A and B are shown apart, each in its own frame.
Chain A
Amino acid sequence: MTKLKVNGKSVDVDADESTPLLWVLREQLGLTGTKYGCGIAECGACTVHVDGQSVRACVYPLGALSGEEEITTIEGLSADGNHPVQQAWVELDVPQCGYCQPGMIMAVAGLLNTNPNPTDEDIDAEITNICRCGTFARVRKGIHLAKTKKS
């Protein structure tokens, strides 16, 4: 039994320590907002925050967590969907199919945590999530809009 702090709550997890955090979240804790896309940290659909930093949960083994870290998933990003990134996403209708968007939103929120005013060059360097629907044009607009919003 491993103790984790997820979205501000302490939880007990019964899984092999080699299990990626993604599957702990999805299958042990029922937090299905975080998505599986590739399993090799290429696509970013599984992006969550560990102590405010974006990580790709599909390759982040449970055993790498001490239990002290604050893990944040899309479900815990805001109380009622009012994180600046979420507001911007709704305003600009960013998602298409939406499958990659929890990861995209978490990656963007993670970027804004460390760099509240990213330039286009910063976005190009830091946001490497794959979106096959091709929402990138609106994602970029959304990031710039999110910079101006408060939660």
Chain B
Amino acid sequence: MTGIIDLSRRGFIIGTGAAGLSIGILSGCAPGAKDEVGGPPPPEVNAWVHIGTDDVVTIRIARSEMGQGTLTGLAQMVAEELECDWTKVTTEYPTPGQNLARDRVWGDFLTGGSRGIRASQDYVRQGGAAARIMLVQAAANRWGVPTEECSVAMGVITHGPSGKTLRFGEVAADAAALPPPEDVPLKDPADWKIIGKPLNRLDTADKVTGRQLYTTDLKMDGMLNAAIKAAPMRGGTLGSFDASAITGMPGVKKVVKVDDTSVAVVADTWWQAKTALDALPIEWVPGEGSDHSSAAFEANLEDGLTADKAFVGNKVGDVDAAFARAAQIVTAKYNAPHQNHACMEPMNAVAVWTPEKCEVWCPTQNGESALAATAEAAELPIEKCEVYKQLLGGGFGRKGAPDYISQAVKIAREMPGTPIKLLWSREEDMEQGFYHPITKALCQGALDADGNLIGLKIRISGQSILAGIMPQALVNGMDFATFQGLLPINDNEMTGDQTLRYTFPALLIDHAMRNPPVRPGFWRGVNANQNAIYLECFMDELAHAAGRDPLEFRLAHLGGDPKLAAVLQAVADKSGWGSDDGKARGLCCFYSFGSYTAACAEVTVGDDGTLKMHRIVAATDPGYGVNPQQIDAQVAGSFVYGLSAMLHEEVTFENGEAEQKNFNTYNSMRIAEMPEVETIVMPSGGFWGGVGEPTIAVAPPAVLNAIFAATGKRIRQLPIKDQALR
């Protein structure tokens, strides 16, 4: 640990991994850091690397870890260039406040869009390389020899001619005093020894013993617990509540009006707080959107499918002319419902507020926006606030929003100096989501007499995420994110990784925006999930209508994209596409988050309509595969999230209120439904694609296409839930 990473307040020690440190709280611990061997801590070598006199290498991780393995992957990248001993690597999170104070030396903290590694791979590798150069220089200086005579491996610097050696821990303090090198060349990927290896995660050990602490497990002296309830109906506000009805209940300390929409009960324990909150008489005032009904909104979505006005996302050739000369026109209508992230760890945060300072401990995918939200809610200058990021118990996009952090701070303001731990109930989590947007699509294809696709139209009708939560990102009212995976090929930083890879002679993909009064959000995979269903299930429909093999039909339109064709061919080959083994197969390929992905699903559907997903062969080309073992875990895990949505997940609203309050009505896939997943990681090099999200999109279309292959029946209404498959 270092003097820069301030462990002072309430004595947090943050670190994970091989060195056996764990996240913990040493209540009342004196300010300042402590070296592992008891001496004064050497300063950091640079912002990314600290090395103790005991050779323990602490790598700073700016991005959040929520299970996706980014922490381990980023550490691999720094360690690769550092040439340290991987078994001595541990990690820690710098705080957003430190980042601010140090002119954002760690760059962006945002962890979303499958950008955790790909958007920081260059500068974190440079951080490791720069530290290595400084360590070697320090050793060379001590020996009085030129650095060219020195080599470095496994955390040991060797002077070739003399055979003398120095460990990193012996020169770290000297290295820290050197100026950073100006020229920091990076290794050729062909020489990587740690990147690209299927290494175990650094953060597993404590997760199997219960020692891993999440925010909700933190304890502090004098801490109280808060349960909260916000207006359950869209647009609703807090009218009145009768605090006197619960003031005598066990443990209850205070009833707090948090803001215009929510009320909280603070008690000794959370169970007491929640019990009292459930008993609190509350009057809600309906507002705009409180009459929202999913069933009634269906008409708006239908209207959008044929409306004249729509934003054009991708247009090629003269699609009307193509349809005019079609021998056959195929039409299909698909939908995608609202879904809740339903992270296993509900929203929660710990806050301590005084007029001088506000500190927050929280799970967040965006440390810097959490800090900004803290400062705003605290009504303090941002320099007087700090956020200590904790391991997330799942994020999936939900924990990029800081609503629960603001609430915790507002409650803490009512009890200055008292640490307040706010935890949402599962019901609150279900009611106050940032829901996956609701859309429908009308897909139309024009085939000529030879079964060639001469024109394709996809009209998307429905909700825009950006209009709902980031209207400043709209371009002339249009939401480019709606067209994720369907955009024309381009090199724009924000859209170039989400493009359509098929070549069609005539094409029109457009969006009639229809926004319900339901807060949308970025839900793992985001709009790629339904867009892949719209495109890839419909491609399957077109292939069948044309009397062509779905693999051949896709490959015929992927001539301009060998990378996507390669992953598609790989899954078809591995799965035994065309084999007659009693299992029906379905394909999907899609490009999103900068990675090329494909899946081949193998299913059977019983005579009674029972679906059995036997196996899904998946392939991904993310450019570089930093850790194939963790990529495999992300592919299989993303399939669960995507297939669970396909099978079960739908949030509906009535009178503005989410009708699904818990996992009994918002079901989540269990192990019995889990197919075997076989992952082919086939990085082709030369680009950096994402991992956490891209593959989620290919599993559901592959399964839906396989269901058709098994039954001859198309499922276009999602989720499948209790629809008869035969």
| A interface residues with partner B (beta carbon < 8 Å) | 15-16, 19-20, 23, 26-28, 30-40, 42-43, 45, 73-75, 77, 81, 85-86, 89-90, 93-102, 105, 123-125, 127-140
Contact = CB atoms under 8 A, between A and B. Distances in A.
Question: 9 tightest CB-CB pairs across the interface, nearest first?
Answer: A33-B210, A134-B640, A97-B67, A99-B393, A96-B67, A98-B207, A134-B637, A74-B210, A124-B672
Nearest to B637: A134
30 contacts: A27-B269, A28-B269, A32-B213, A32-B219, A34-B210, A35-B216, A40-B426, A40-B662, A90-B208, A93-B629, A95-B201, A96-B68, A97-B67, A97-B393, A98-B207, A99-B214, A99-B345, A101-B208, A105-B208, A128-B671, A131-B344, A132-B342, A132-B344, A133-B637, A134-B636, A134-B669, A135-B636, A137-B676, A139-B671, A140-B671
A151 B698 CA distance: 40
B670 interface: yes
B217 interface: yes
Contacts of B99: none
Given A95-B207, A133-B67, 18 more contacts: A15-B271, A23-B269, A36-B423, A37-B663, A43-B344, A81-B209, A95-B67, A97-B66, A98-B391, A101-B208, A105-B208, A123-B672, A132-B342, A132-B344, A132-B394, A132-B641, A133-B641, A136-B669
B69 interface: yes
Contacts of B425: 39
Contact of A93 (B204, B640, B662): B204
Given A37-B426, A74-B209, A132 B663 contact: no
Nearest to A103: B344
Nearest to B524: A132
B147 interface: no
Nearest to A85: B208
B361 interface: no
A145 B685 CA distance: 35
B344 A45 contact: yes
B392 A90 contact: no
A123 B670 CA distance: 11
Contacts of B201: 93, 95
B633 A98 contact: no
Contact of B668 (A74, A89, A99, A132): A132
B328 interface: no
B547 interface: no
Contacts of A125: 672
Contacts of B344: 35, 37, 43, 45, 97, 99-100, 130-133
A101 B396 CA distance: 17
Given A75-B209, A81-B205, A93-B204, A99 B672 contact: no
Given A42-B664, A124-B671, A131 B640 contact: yes
A61 B423 CA distance: 21
A128 B669 CA distance: 9
B270 interface: yes
Contacts of B205: 81, 90
B639 interface: yes
Contacts of B668: 43, 130, 132
B208 A86 contact: yes
Contacts of B669: 134, 136
Residue in B395, B630, B641, B671 with the greatest tally of chain A CB atoms within 10 Å? B671
B723 interface: no
Main secondary structure, interface of B, reads loop
A32 B346 CA distance: 15
Contacts of B100: none
Nearest to A43: B663
A33 B200 contact: no
Contacts, number: 181
A49 to B, nearest CB: 13
Contacts of B269: 23, 27-28
A52 to B, nearest CB: 18
A127 B207 CA distance: 19
Residue in A36, A74, A98, A124 with the greatest tally of chain B CB atoms within 10 Å? A98
B95 interface: no
B343 interface: yes
A123 B217 contact: no
A145 to B, nearest CB: 13
Contacts of A90: 200, 204-205, 208
Nearest to A32: B217
Contacts of A73: 210
B211 interface: yes
A85 B210 CA distance: 13
A89 B214 CA distance: 19
Contact of A39 (B67, B211, B662): B662
Interface size class on chain B is 35 or more
Contacts of A131: 344, 640
Given A32-B210, A96-B69, A138 B393 contact: no
Contact of B271 (A20, A33, A86, A94): A20
B5 interface: no
B562 interface: no
Contacts of A105: 208
Contacts of A136: 636, 640, 669-671, 674
A105 B225 CA distance: 28
Nearest to B632: A137
B346 A36 contact: yes
Nearest to A19: B271
A38 B205 CA distance: 25
Contact of A27 (B271, B670, B674): B271
Interface string B580-607: 0000000000000000000000000000
Contacts of B671: 123-124, 127-129, 136, 139-140
Nearest to B426: A38
Residue in A31, A75, A134 with the greatest tally of chain B CB atoms within 10 Å? A134
Contacts of A28: 269
Nearest to B678: A137
Residue in A16, A19, A89, A97 with the greatest tally of chain B CB atoms within 10 Å? A97
B426 A98 contact: no
A97 B394 contact: yes
A73 B210 CA distance: 9
A23 B271 contact: yes
A99 B209 contact: no
A65 B638 CA distance: 40
A4 B258 CA distance: 38
B674 A140 contact: yes
Interface in B149-201: 200-201
B293 interface: no
Contact of B67 (A15, A45, A98, A138): A98
A97 B391 contact: yes
Contacts of A99: 214, 343-345, 393-394
A149 B510 CA distance: 57
B215 to A, nearest CB: 11
Residue in B66, B343, B633, B636 with the greatest tally of chain A CB atoms within 10 Å? B633
B207 A130 contact: no
Contacts of B639: 134
Contacts of B250: 16
Contacts of A138: 633, 636
Contacts of A39: 425-426, 662
B452 interface: no
Nearest to A105: B208
Interface in B48-77: 66-69
A9 to B, nearest CB: 15
A108 B261 CA distance: 42
A94 B393 CA distance: 15
A138 B671 CA distance: 10
A151 B394 CA distance: 30
Residue in A34, A123, A137, A138 with the greatest tally of chain B CB atoms within 10 Å? A137
